Amino acid sequence: MTPVKQFVFSVLVLLAVANGGFAEKLHHTSIQLISEVRSFEPGKPFTVGIQMQMDKGWHIYWKNPGDAGIPPKIEWVLPKGFTAGEMQWPVPEKISTPPLMSFGYEGSALLLVDILAPQNLPAGEKVTLKAKVEWLECSDICLPASDEVSITLRAESFKGLNDLSATLTRMGSGMKTIDLARQSLPEKTKDWDVSASRDGKALHLKFFRKSPSAVVPDTAFFFPDQAGFIDNVGKQILRPGGDGFMLDVPIAYDASANPEKISGIMTVKRNANEAEDAFLINAPIKSASAKIVDEPVAQPLGGILLYAFFGGLILNLMPCVFPVLSLKILGFVNAAGESRSRLALHGVMFSLGVLVSFWVLAGALISLRTSGQLLGWGFQFQNPAFSLFLAILLFLIGLNLMGVFEIGSSLTGLGGRPHQEGLRASFFSGVLATVVATPCTAPFMGAAVAYALTQPAGISFLVFTFLAFGMAAPYMALTLSPGLMRFLPRPGAWMETFKQAMAFPMFGAVIWMIWILSDQAGSSGVLFSLGSLLLAGMAAWIYGKWSQTDRRSWVRGGAQVAAVFFLLLALWPLKWISTFEKSPSGKSVEENGWEIFTPQRLEELRAEGKPVFIDFTAKWCLTCQVNKAIALDQAEVRRKFREKGVTLLLADWTNQDETIRTALASYGRAGVPFYVLYGTDPKASPVILPEILTPGIVQDALKKLK
Amino acid sequence: MRYFLLAIVVLLTSTLSYPAVAEVKPGDVAPDFQLQSSVGKTHSLSEYKGKWVVLEWTNYECPFVRKFYGSRKMQELQKTYTGKGVVWLQINSSASGKQGDFTPAEIVRRSGEWKTASTAYLIDEDGKVGRMYDARTTPTIVIISPEGKIVYHGAIDSIPSTDTDDISKADNYVEKTFSEVFAGKPVKVATTRSYGCGIKY
């Protein structure tokens, strides 16, 4: 029993004893009218409460009683000029009597009602408020009951009284109880943006994170105000996803109500140990439009981990990874002639590199989230400094592969002593592979990442760990398989040539980075970035030429200082490249038949019943570029789009953009690529296209479009 | 690999769904059943093919049921419609030992006292028929056409209360449905949310 209940209970016991005990009680609920005031000010509202105390095992009903029962009714008998407001219901409980489910109260319930006194009451006048209460009380059996309760209060003028004496004059015996009850009345939530949609089977309540501190609850239950709408016994399923969660509330197959908006009370529990929290919901019901979560997310943790694993696995096949593919191939070539155990160790080091980088990414995302920043997948590329840093790094690796310079332990482990230094290199290539590969989401992965980003830190790390496992799995498998040895050619002079050739994919990746920068930092940004590369190249050349072990020590020292100097100079723009103005990309986009995506524009087009295709993309997402080139920009595909009158909306996420992040989140995604196709029916759900497009996939989707 | 297998197991177990509820919609074929009556006779729905049938879920101790028997409204309805050839079956689905579950002799005594006019009072102690028809409260009314189709499922009238005064103010769905079907008109309100005491399954 809570202190309040205890207090009320003892009061009631005392009252009962004073009245000769419960012996002659006719029903199983005792009621009392309490007031927060003893004296009230005419013209001002105050609150009274019907305190209902049920015997053990008995319950009464909420305003929507569920499968059986009826809610209590109050009929007021008030002096002239007084008005009573609506009953304010406390948070109900589920009362389960399989196969039925009712909503109501066990133990006790305090029903609050605001009373407004008329203006023209003389001070000192006594008034009696009377309430006829009718209720149905049930245990195994149900009994209708009714009772009359009343309370007498005094009108008082509070003019000239100071605060303290005003309070003392006002204070009724029920003040504390009513205050507590009022505080625990459910209110609107500040944590979530709530929207509702329905299909034939279920009401989908969607909760979008409004406050960064909002935590997706473990369990939730929605009590609708409307009776006869939901399937009361049906399981309500909570699905974390995107940037929040969704609660699927089954609709009764024989629903007698078909409301246009839904209201009610939602109870949530963070975890089993915490107290229940409740808030009000009031939202129009849209017929199913944007799903917050498509199927992959609608899974418990186990399923998500599976998706993460497969997502990571498939990530190896995404175009994003091509630039680092050379490093991976090199790793294997490098392993030629090594012992099997050594080979396995390389695999482990590579996997470790992948794992650690995923953890760093997860750590960064989580810490940024706790500091209130909401970021999506691939966020690192939204910072031009990062793109530039990566450009310089890839350029240096390319030069290293070309043989311009060599570091004691060569970056890629292809230096003079591969057997000793190769392990560190394997680790490093794991890191690089992850950093470059992660801006794209792969099939399965989008859902897993989106889920991870909304979860507590431990679960986020778990999901990211599985992504890493998935990405590293093929390499682990290869290095562990005895068959691989047979495919590796003998070591020899060809290795040097091959290594040099592998520099070109690196330079290719540099071009990609510069292209991203052209969008992030404009033409000045490109200029300074290229300057950086020049300086980095000089540093590499100086280091390579004069820092060899056969040089005299002062030459070596001087060369090293000079190299570091040029390198620092090359890195200097990192500090301020983000201050360059981003290039206005809108114009070129529109000429190309695309419109800039805004949620308003989407709503507009949907309302007009026009089909819409949205391309969520970013320049740093190579998969997106490939999809665009081989599918979306194909004349044939574009013609189909025109034939069907589809408006093309482009959501370019190259730079940080809250609108696009929120829009992605509304589909349960945290990364790109992501493709959505809406038909003409404003009420129909959109078609979600896969992460990898072919002209056939897009045309098929268009063909099926209604 | 272990994690992988674990993940698969978790995924598979999570997709197991919960058992479905019996769905009874107007237009559906009324599922057949066989029950013993209070006088020991076996009645099945199929034997009444070709006749209109009313199923009335009842519990003589439920205040919502007493509202209709105490005011004699239920008896009047039973008399009126059985007089027109309608088969009226009272069904009690209270589990053994729970409220409303009486010995056949007690049922006969109480029914006699109330002068009920139904065709039979059927005992559904294991609740099978109640669940089959998704009956949730007493009273619940199901009306079945001579073709064996459900034409109405839900409450007895439109005002959920235990107050006898409300009976005359409410729309009675038995009367409404029969006046429509007897006139050859479609049933306007074929499903309502039944109200009353939860059935004591």
Distance from CA of B21 to the nearest CA of A (A): 9
Chain B environment of A301 (Cβ under 8 Å)? 10
Strands B140-144 and B53-57: antiparallel
pLDDT, tens only, B86-122: 999 999 999 988 888 999 999 999 999 999 999 999 9
Of A67, A134, A254, the CB nearest to B25: A254
Give dist(CA A247, CA B15) in Å, integer: 17
SS3 content of chain B, % helix, strand, coil (to 5): 30, 20, 45
In a domain, B1, yes or no: no
Residues 302-331, chain A, touching B (beta carbon < 8 A): 302-303, 305-306, 309
b/e burial code for range A83-96 (CB count within 10 A of at least 16 → b): ebeebbbbbbbebe
Q: How far apart are CA B66 and CA B116, in angstroms?
A: 12
Q: Is the pLDDT of residue A382 over 80?
A: no
pLDDT at B128 over 80: yes
Joined together, the tokens standing for residue A22 give 């419960």
A253 contacts chain B (CB < 8 A): yes
**Backbone φ and ψ of A147, nearest 5°:** -160, 160
Chain B residues whose C-beta is within 8 A of a chain A C-beta are 3-4, 6-11, 13-14, 18, 21, 23-25, 61-64, 98-99, 131, 134, 136-137, 153-154, 160-163, 191-193, 195-201
Averaged pLDDT, A427-451: 76
Whether the predicted pLDDT of A564 surpasses 70: yes
Give yes or no for a contact between A668 and A297, defined as CB atoms under 8 angstroms apart: yes
In this predicted structure, the answer to whether residue B3 has a pLDDT above a threshold of 70 is no
Using pLDDT thresholds of 50, 70 and 90, give the confidence band for residue A12.
very low
Q: Do A253 and B25 touch (CB under 8 A)?
A: yes
B197–A97 CB contact, under 8 Å = no
- Give B141→chain A minimum CA distance, Å: 14
Whether residue A3 has pLDDT greater than 60 = no
Asked if A99's CB is within 8 angstroms of B11's CB, the reply is no
Is A537's pLDDT higher than 70? Answer: yes
Whether the pLDDT of residue B84 is over 90: the answer is: yes
What is the number of CB-based contacts under 8 A between chain A and chain B?
Answer: 101
Q: Identify the CATH number of the domain defined by range A3-185.
A: 2.60.40.1250
User: Is the pLDDT reported for residue A4 higher than 80?
Assistant: no
Tell whether B7 is covered by a domain.
Answer: no
Contact across the interface for A142 and B160, Cβ inside 8 Å: no
What distance in Å separates the CA atoms of residue B116 and residue B74, rounded to the nearest whole number?
8
The CA–CA distances, whole Å, from A691 to A442, A473, A622, A664, B161 equal 6, 21, 12, 14, 57
- Please give the pLDDT value at position A312: 85
Q: How far apart are CA A377 and CA A361, in angstroms?
A: 9
Listed by start position, the domains of chain A span 3-185, 188-288, 301-504, 586-703
The answer on pLDDT for A619 being more than 70 is yes
B contacts of A305 (beta carbons < 8 Å): 3, 7, 10
Question: Measured between CA atoms, how close is B136 to chain A, in angstroms?
Answer: 7
Would you say residue B158 lies in a domain? Answer: yes
Q: How far is B63 from chain A (nearest CA, A)?
A: 6
| The predicted structure's pLDDT at residue A375 | 65
Mean pLDDT of A604-610: 85
Is A140–B99 a contact, with Cβ atoms under 8 angstroms apart?
yes
Report the alpha-carbon distance of residue A122 to residue A520 in Å, rounded.
Answer: 74
By three-state DSSP, how is residue A519 classified?
Answer: helix
Highest mean pLDDT among A238-252, A419-433, B59-73: B59-73
Which residues of A are less than 8 Å from B21 in CB distance?
Answer: 99, 231, 233-234, 253
What is the model's pLDDT at position A605?
Answer: 87
**Whether B198 and A100 lie within 8 Å, measured CB to CB:** yes
Distance of CA A697 to the CA centre of its chain: 28
Return the residue in B11, B25, B94, B140 with the most chain A beta carbons within 10 A, the one to mutate for interface testing: B11
Domains A3-185 and A586-703 share a fold: no
Given a cut of 60, whether residue B9 has pLDDT beyond it is: no
Residue B15 lies inside a defined structural domain of this protein: no
pLDDT-based confidence at A418, cuts 50/70/90? very low
**Three-state secondary-structure class, residue A207:** strand
Three-class DSSP category at A253: coil
Q: Select the residue of A134, A254, A309 nearest B191 (Cβ to Cβ).
A: A254
CA-CA distance, A575 to A595, in Å (whole number)?
A: 34
Comparing CB atoms, the residue among A136, A235, A301 nearest residue B18 is A235
Closest alpha carbon within chain A to B63: A143
Residue A497: exposure state from Cβ atoms within 10 A (0-12, 13-18, ≥19): exposed
- Measured at the CA of A384, the angle between CA A380 and CA A390, to 5 degrees, comes to 70
Identify the pLDDT of residue A489.
67
Domain that holds residue B96: 20-198
Residues in chain B closer than 8 A to A97 (CB atoms): 198, 201
Mean pLDDT of chain A: 80
Query: Per-residue pLDDT for B5 more than 60?
Result: no
Confirm or reject CATH 3.40.30.10 for domain A586-703, answering yes or no: yes
Q: Which of A265-269, A566-570, B51-55 has the highest mean pLDDT?
A: B51-55
Q: Do A141 and B21 touch (CB under 8 A)?
A: no
Query: In whole angstroms, what is the distance from residue A540 CA to residue A530 CA?
Result: 15
* Residue A190 pLDDT: 85
CB contact under 8 A, A99 and B201: yes
3-state secondary structure of A523: helix
CATH number at residue B103: 3.40.30.10
User: Does A254 sit within 8 Å of B23, measured CB to CB?
Assistant: yes
pLDDT of residue A283: 86
Q: If you count them, how many residues does chain A have?
A: 706
Average pLDDT of the segment spanning B165-190: 93
The reply to whether residue A70 touches residue B9, judged by beta carbons under 8 angstroms, is no
Q: Choose, out of B15, B16, B21, the residue to mutate when testing the contact with A (most A CBs < 10 Å).
A: B21
Candidate from A68, A253, A299 with C-beta closest to B197: A68
The CA distance from A429 to the nearest CA of chain B, in Å, is: 24
Which one of 2.60.120, 1.10.357, 2.60.40, 2.40.128 gives the CATH number of domain A188-288?
2.60.40
Q: Ranked by mean pLDDT, which of A26-30, A78-82, A312-316, A454-458 comes out on top?
A: A78-82
A577: which DSSP letter?
Answer: G
